[in-house]
Amino acid sequence: MAKEMYYTGIDIGSSKVCSIVARVGTDGELKILGTGVVRSQGMLKGKIENLNEVQAAVKASLEESQKYIGKGVISGVYAGVSGVHISSSNARQVLRNPGEDGDVSNHRLKQLIQSSFSAAGSGAGKGREVIHIIPISYGIDGPLDGRIDHPSDSLAGVRALTGLQSGQVEVEAHIISGDAAALKNNVKVVQAGKVPVNSLVLQALASAEATLTGDERELGCVLMDIGGGTTDMVVYREGNPWYSAVIPVGGNQLTKDLSVATKIPWYLAEDLKVKWGAALPEMVRVDEEVVLPGYQGQPQRVIQRRDLTEPLQARLIEMFKLVLLKVRQSGLRQFPNAGLVITGGCADLPGVKELAENTLGGPVRIGYPTGIAGLPSQLRKPIFSTAVGLLLWGIKHQGEQRPYRNSERTLWGAKPFWGRNSTADAEHEEVAAR
């Protein structure tokens, strides 16, 4: 009897830790078996500050999600990472194709990607590790002897090289790296629960897997994932990620602003934000009032609900402008044609879409997790986009498993595998589509 394979994604955020366990059903569909959501402790803006507290939260989340798998064993997890230590760049690498017939094979393509990794790793900087190398496009140049006699001998912007004739090939890849110590800590807190890590995944890329359509990727769009401690973003062009960044402002900052404005503790301000918050004052009736709870002997107070919206609106406008600044830093003058997709916990705040449209002047929509038939209703919320996306990433990129060995010199171990197994990936993409 074939051993059942369980896919597990774990989103270790600044406000919550969410684990989801799933398996492939008899008809090829992905079935959610369990979820575990616990309050996050020991995280600050996507980076682990207290190892023991984060380990306890991760362990509790994983244990909760595994209650319904019986004697099944999780073979490994796909863990999301974020933090201001994350950076990205685009790089090119050229490799001669020495095959006798000149055809570019899958094997040669994998070698090309590995070569790109070597180049990227050497330029990532001291104390940094590469998380992702994502091919954007390929180029093929000239005849087998590598000489280019005419400009017409060069063909750039190729998306699929397999089977084409080429003397040398060039890959342009999107490279995402992070602080090596921070990434090792992410691996450590998961492995402390006796669960191996298959791969670390940038949270924005995971959210994109769950929320973006194929048309949006092709037309070009920006994904904005508003987490508790950070806002993660990724720019897509012609179907592929072009630029990634992490902004050190998230939903917790909105709560802090509300706490200062209303002079109440943070935890009470968080409850007010969730229950009564809005991004646009005009969405709230002029005469609508909200009762501020008393604390430590202080009496209750009554304020206008519009007064709650003003600090939230100001901070969100700042965040949208920061995203626009990052888009321009990526080399684009304006937002891509498909506009902005907002996901994450704060995406549920009433008026966020309208405020973004007013601020940026382009198409905006709220991104809800999709891609899994029969996804439970409690997971069909923007706050769970990353966790759902990690499951989809695990299926689609299973060939990206890496041996994380903290005792070795590098985070990835001695023999990382960067290429994708085309047959396995095709099967897993088919499962994700069902």
pLDDT of amino acid 404? 52
Q: How far is CA 131 from the centre of its chain?
A: 12
Of these ranges, 164-173, 253-262, 398-407, the one predicted with the greatest mean pLDDT is 253-262
Q: 317: buried, middle or exposed (CB in 10 Å: 19+, 13-18, 0-12)?
A: middle
The mean pLDDT value for 33-38 works out to 93
206 against 70, higher pLDDT: 206
Question: How does pLDDT run across 306-358, given as a tens digit for each residue?
Answer: 999 999 999 999 999 999 999 999 999 889 999 999 999 999 999 999 999 99
Once rounded to an integer, what is the mean pLDDT over residues 174-200?
A: 92
Give the model's confidence band at 96: pLDDT under 50 very low, under 70 low, under 90 confident, else very high.
low
Confidence tier at 400 by pLDDT (50, 70, 90)? low
268 or 434: which carries more pLDDT confidence? 268
pLDDT at 416: 34
271 vs 418, more confident? 271
Q: Is residue 374 situated within a structural domain?
A: no
Across 30-43, average pLDDT: 91
In a domain, 346, yes or no: no
Structural domains in the chain (count): 1
- At 112, which CATH number? 3.30.1490.110
The candidate with the shortest Cα–Cα distance to 99, out of 88, 107, 91, 87, is 107
Would you say residue 115 lies in a domain? yes
Across 213-227, average pLDDT: 97
Determine, yes or no, domain membership for 269. no
pLDDT, residue 284, reads: 93
Answer whether residue 431 shows pLDDT above 60.
no
Determine the pLDDT at residue 228.
Answer: 94
The answer to whether residue 105 is domain-embedded is yes
Q: What percent of the chain stands above pLDDT 90?
A: 58
The angle at the Cα of 77, spanning 401 to 405, to the nearest 5 degrees, equals: 55
pLDDT at 153 over 80: no
The residue type at 110: K
Range of the domain at 124: 88-178
The predicted pLDDT at position 40 comes to: 93
Does residue 414 form part of some domain? no
Q: What would the mean pLDDT of 412-426 be, rounded to a whole number?
A: 36
More confident residue, 169 or 62: 62
Q: What is the mean pLDDT of residues 170-174?
A: 83
More reliable by pLDDT, 139 or 294: 294
Percent over 70 (pLDDT), the chain: 76
Query: What pLDDT was estimated at residue 241?
Result: 96
- pLDDT for the residue 415: 33
More reliable by pLDDT, 197 or 98: 197
Task: Classify residue 3 by its DSSP letter.
Answer: P
| 295 in a structural domain | no
Look up tokens 């989340």; give the residue.
61
Residue 171 lies in a domain: yes
Per-residue pLDDT, 407: 37
Q: What is the pLDDT of residues 40-79, one digit of tens each?
A: 999 999 889 999 999 999 999 999 998 877 766 677 899 9
The CA-CA-CA angle for residues 187, 207, 339, to 5°, reads 145
144 pLDDT exceeds 90?
Answer: no
Report whether pLDDT(434) > 70. Answer: no
Distance CA 134, CA 293 (A): 50
pLDDT at position 164 is: 64
Q: What is the dihedral of CA 405, 407, 412, 413, to 10 degrees?
A: -80
Residue 130 vs residues 49, 81, 174, 212: alpha-carbon distances, Å: 22, 12, 11, 24
On average, the pLDDT of the chain sits at 82
Question: CA 82, CA 100: separation in Å to the nearest integer?
Answer: 44
- Quote the pLDDT of residue 413: 36
In angstroms, the CA 169 to CA 183 distance is: 32
